């Protein structure tokens, strides 16, 4: 832990990150190309990012794509402990100097058994982030798989891969109680009666 809003942990599965407010990350699996003693996972809260403030970053050390083909994956889950909150959107971005498009990043969202792919977003050309809505899943836990593939002939390197997450409240306007509906109709009827009486007089 470096700051009160940043949790850094070694990507050795399975491991839980420290809890940040009402969220934590559990690393589930990784390819052997994720360096346990060199690469770092960072789970942070960015209060300046209003739409997707929760950030999960895989920071490569050394950077990927230096004159060799490089590919790998990372599986993790991110959980909201507040029962009134649900995930709303996810974005995929990266820090890269590659400009010829010879790499692929992908984020897939799965069920807990990794048998059914729910949503996928792919980013081929930096640096614009690619985002999707996950609101319809009504999920308080997202199972995520990151994949990357960098070709040896790419003209740069990837420094990190980042997912950012947004949430929504489960609160919806409560229906008007039947008693309240009856009172409202009764008052409207009295008002109409007064208008008619005034018009006749």
Domains detected in the chain: 6-173 (2.60.120)
Does the predicted model carry a pTM greater than 0.95?
Answer: no
pLDDT at site 45: 87
Q: How far is residue 91's CA from residue 131's CA, in Å, rounded to a whole number?
A: 4
* Mean of the per-residue pLDDT values of the chain: 75
CA separation (Å) from 86 to 6, 118, 135, 138? Answer: 21, 16, 7, 6
Q: Which residue has the higher pLDDT, 10 or 49?
A: 49
Helical segments of the chain, H only: 178-200
Q: How far apart are CA 174 and CA 111, in angstroms?
A: 31
Band (121; pLDDT cuts 50, 70, 90): low
Are residues 25 and 44 in contact, defined by beta-carbon separation less than 8 angstroms? no
pLDDT at 85 over 90: yes
C-alpha to C-alpha distances, 56 to 16, 100, 120, nearest whole angstrom? 13, 26, 17
| Degrees, nearest 5: CA angle 113-90-141 | 40
């Amino acid at each position: 832990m470096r700051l009160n809003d940043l949790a850094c942990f070694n990507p050795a599965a399975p491991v839980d990150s420290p809890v940040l407010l009402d969220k934590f990350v559990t690393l589930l699996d990784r390819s052997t190309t994720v360096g346990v003693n060199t690469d770092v996972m960072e789970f942070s809260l960015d209060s300046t990012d209003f739409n997707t403030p929760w950030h999960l970053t895989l920071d490569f050390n050394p950077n990927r794509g230096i004159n060799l083909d490089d590919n790998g994956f990372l599986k993790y889950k991110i959980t909201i402990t507040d029962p009134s909150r649900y995930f709303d959107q996810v974005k995929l971005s990266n820090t890269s100097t590659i400009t010829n498009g010879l790499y692929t990043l992908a984020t897939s969202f799965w069920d807990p058994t990794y048998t059914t792919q729910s949503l996928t977003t792919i980013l081929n050309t930096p640096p614009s982030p690619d985002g999707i809505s996950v609101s319809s899943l009504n999920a308080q836990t997202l199972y995520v798989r990151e994949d990357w593939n960098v070709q040896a002939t790419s003209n740069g390197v990837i420094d990190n891969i980042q997912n950012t997450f947004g949430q929504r409240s489960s609160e919806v306007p409560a229906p008007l109680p039947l008693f309240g509906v009856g009172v409202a109709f009764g008052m409207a009827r009295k008002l109409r009666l007064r208008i008619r009486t005034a018009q006749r007089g």
